[in-house]
Amino acid sequence: MSKSRSILLLNGPNLNLLGQREPHIYGSETLAIHVSNAQSAAKDLGFEIVAMQSNSSSDLVEAIHAARGVHSAIVINPGAFTHYAWSIHDALSAFDGPVVELHLSNPQKRESWRHTSVVAPVAIGTISGFGASGYGLAIRAVASHLS
Residue 82 sits in a domain whose CATH number is 3.40.50.9100
Q: How many domains does the chain have?
A: 1
Among 88, 84, 23, CA closest to 54: 88
Q: Which pLDDT score is estimated for 104?
A: 87
Enter the pTM of the model. 0.91
Which residue numbers are catalytic?
26, 103
pLDDT range class, residue 83, cuts 50, 70, 90:
confident
DSSP for 43-64, please give it.
HHTT-EEEEEE-S-HHHHHHHH
Q: What is the distance between the alpha carbons of residues 43 and 66, in angstroms, rounded to a whole number?
A: 22
Pair type for strands 99-103 and 73-77: parallel
109 pLDDT exceeds 60?
A: no
Q: Which pLDDT score is estimated for 2?
A: 47
Q: What is the mean pLDDT of residues 124-146?
A: 94
Residue at 34: amino acid letter: H
Q: What is the distance between the alpha carbons of residues 6 and 104, in angstroms, rounded to a whole number?
A: 22
pLDDT range class, residue 27, cuts 50, 70, 90:
low
125 pLDDT exceeds 50?
A: yes
Domain range for 58 is 3-146
